[in-house]
Structure 1
């Protein structure tokens, strides 16, 4: 068993353990490489049929290519896709021009919270990784939130020797992170091995590509000649550029991402 096999087995175990312990589960599908890898693993864990719905929060600012990819793959993989929006915020004219923190909180965090509350989901799978961004490094595999979906990053249960705490109170909302131990390079090597279809925005065009996908006004391509998965893997082995260098919210005020995530951001 190689490194990717070990990661795959752990993720599949987490999926099955969560499905055994919790009712009313869903999975966030942001259309990016991580959540698409997560969806691939969910299909493996449950023998091709994902037993819970997928949730995509559409801010109204996503790349059209992301939406086209989402709809194509949802149909091909026969998943139950729920698209949610904070319609009140969108109708009131919320945009990044009103501040990226306010926009992300309204369109993403509150949009997700509204859908979770409306549909009664008690737990949700997310494709975050510890190496992706500082606040995510503080996460646990099974991460409790309060009844308002807020995260107390200073009070997280220990998970020593892969012993996961799955016993929480009735008002607890649980975020479940099967990819937490993976790295960006692991994701791409697994995509190559499994031949997972990815959004074309990740592949270089005219000397630029996206390493992380978000909303058009706040998401910028980086210089890169990597136009195939093999070339992306070789690029990652030598690059010094942070993965989220093209995400504007990561360059805002100190601890912005941690503040957003404490409020329930993905």
Structure 2
């Protein structure tokens, strides 16, 4: 889906913990650079190629990937994309996500998934168990080197400028990205969109509620016309007001 000139929200089918769904990586591009935000699950390279083609952007031009955080649905596809690319791709992430992306540490979500297995109904337990066992067995094979770490407020000089907004809570090193020219916020998993409404990310995915709440207050300070959520996609219905409400700002 075209968001603005040089900005595309990709729509990639995926099997999520809640069942079949769509993930929404984001593509920025201009004559010099092609920048992908988040990389999906393993074995989705062809789906990414198809989504690039639909956007009119050659996959082989991809030069940079910015990772919002190290959950498997955001980084599982990195190794495959790097392997498939004919050119060097530079990977960016926050320092606190680096050891998980590089598979030096096991994924944060493993412990959460293990806890869920004890309380889910039988049918859902079986589905989550498959994901859990696969992630536990294969995460080291999916590691990818982080070439450059980013900090809060850093302005990445690509595609008109992409500002890093450090938003911990969902994970220790979660970041959002703000494209000032189009007033677009790439929210990662800071929010979801459900039924056309901007909502908090599910509570069980939040590692630190206090940090998460502070991060929402930080995002409420930005002038935003478009929010792109990895789960739920596009939101444009008075986003500043909606974010302020979610942040508890009157």
Please give the range of the TM-score, normalised by the shorter of the 2 chains. 0.3 to 0.5
The answer to which structure, 1 or 2, has the higher relative contact order (CA under 8 A, 6+ apart) is 1
Q: Which has the higher helix share?
A: 1
Q: Which has the higher strand share?
A: 2
Q: Normalising by the residue count of structure 1, what TM-score does the alignment of the two structures yield?
A: 0.31
